[in-house]
Amino acid sequence: MTDTAATAATATGTAAAIRGRLLSFRRAPDGPGDAGSYRLIEDGLVLVEDGRIAAVGEHADLRGRLPEGATVAHHPDGLILPGFIDTHIHFPQTQVIASYGARLLDWLEKYTFIEEQRYADPAHAAAGAAFFLDELLRNGTTTAVAYGSVHPQSVDALFAEAERRGAGLIAGKVMMDRHAPAALTDTAESGYADSKALIARWHGHGRQRYAVTPRFAITSTEAQLEAAGTLLREHAGVHMQTHLSENAEEIATVRRLFPAARDYTDVYDRFGLLGPTSLFGHCIHLSDAEMGRLSETGSVAVFCPTSNLFIGSGLFDRAALARSDRPVRMALATDVGGGTSYSMLRTAGEAYKVLQLNRQNLPALAAFDLMTRGNAAALGLESEIGTLEPGRWADLVVLDSRATPAMRHRMTTVDGDLEEELFVLMTLGDDRAVAATYLRGRVAHRRIG
């Protein structure tokens, strides 16, 4: 993709406007062909003021509002969407990704717990945060919900790096007071105190938001889960993230550790951890009663397809969770480092395959809605990100559907069909298909070559 105007915008840093084909979703698509679910402008303009979208519309209608000499980043061959949103990813696992041959609990002990101990070092955490943000932005992801390590300094480093770049994150210090190496455990009291201090320091600071983060029931005592619930009650607006029903061995272990609980979901429910700001990674092996309780509380089930396949955990049942009499809110995520790609495009492609194995389907419109508007809604941030609407942050991703020889070859048969183009992007695309990423109207990544 050659684009001299966009190159000029890179040199100056911030664009007053971004021009190209604009795609933004209005609501969740009802299925393939639902043209009413999105807005596509073939030659559109996004006007940016103070890092937010000031106006969106046809270039011909809006170009007169540009000041004399304003910088316009023009992507004539690109498809411009709101930046992708990743709702479950592990910041300290960037060097755990692609670790061979283990199921969930063994994988944690053999790889993850060893690597996460290194994040006690602030310098290591800072270097890791820089790499992590680079990789997200290279893949078009502008907002992420991230797990830190048990060390508060890991979360300080991550938030500081995000704030420096103008990105917005939701993140939290992992709370773990048992069944982990001594160097990775806190206590119910220290986990509460450290989390509370991080909330005071970072929640609502710039674009940063906090997530109370008990890793999962196996690594937290009842006292620590109670402390996590107390943090949620004390701090309105913070999120909660944890894992739920990922693996059969995990579920059996939870049953042994919490014999009084009705099921795995009930463990969290007893401590007040369910609710509309609560994100539960995986949710593969849920009973109907558990899905009903998630629905009643407005909790979010996060689909992590590449991780579920790589660790061999099972197949996500989107149809069961979407049942009309008790629908569960859903989101999509990479789950690096159990997940095998930072790319939300690759993640959507693997989600399609997982659902195919479950005799279900993921139309391209639904996938791109999930990666943008849908994930923003799952986080309660639809007024801030996820759509190309005035008032939202000008976080954008520019996609090139002809980024590789295979994609170019396939696109010669698409003949202007948007849904076919999106399906090509989600099945053949990856970081190479991201031509540029913008944070608050400023170029945060530009593909070279």
Whether residue 16 sits in one domain with residue 152: no
Examine residue 375 and state whether it is found in any structural domain, yes or no: no
Whether residue 236 sits in one domain with residue 324: yes
Examine residue 381 and state whether it is found in any structural domain, yes or no: no
Whether residue 311 sits in one domain with residue 395: no
> For position 208, which CATH number holds?
3.20.20.140
Whether residue 63 sits in one domain with residue 90: no
pTM: 0.95
> For position 413, which CATH number holds?
2.30.40.10
Examine residue 265 and state whether it is found in any structural domain, yes or no: yes
What average pLDDT values come out for the chain (449 residues) when binned by 10 residues?
Answer: 38 76 98 96 97 97 92 96 98 89 77 88 97 98 98 98 97 97 96 98 97 97 98 97 96 97 98 98 98 98 96 95 97 95 98 97 98 98 98 98 98 96 98 98 93
What pLDDT does 101 receive? 73
Whether residue 227 sits in one domain with residue 173: yes
Task: Return the bridge partners of 410, or none.
Answer: none
Residue 192 structure tokens: 């509460």
Task: Return the bridge partners of 146, or none.
Answer: 89, 171
Is the distance from CB of 313 to CB of 284 less than 8 angstroms? yes
Whether residue 129 sits in one domain with residue 162: yes
Which of 206, 213, 198 is closest to 169 using CA atoms? 206
Examine residue 364 and state whether it is found in any structural domain, yes or no: no
Whether residue 75 sits in one domain with residue 88: no
Task: Return the bridge partners of 446, or none.
Answer: 436
Examine residue 371 and state whether it is found in any structural domain, yes or no: no
Whether residue 401 sits in one domain with residue 313: no
Count how many domains the chain has. 2
What pLDDT does 155 receive? 98
Domain with 397 in it:
4-83+387-446
Whether residue 90 sits in one domain with residue 50: no
Which region, left, alpha or beta, applies to residue 308 given φ > 0 means left and ψ of -120 to 50 means alpha? alpha
What pLDDT does 213 receive? 98
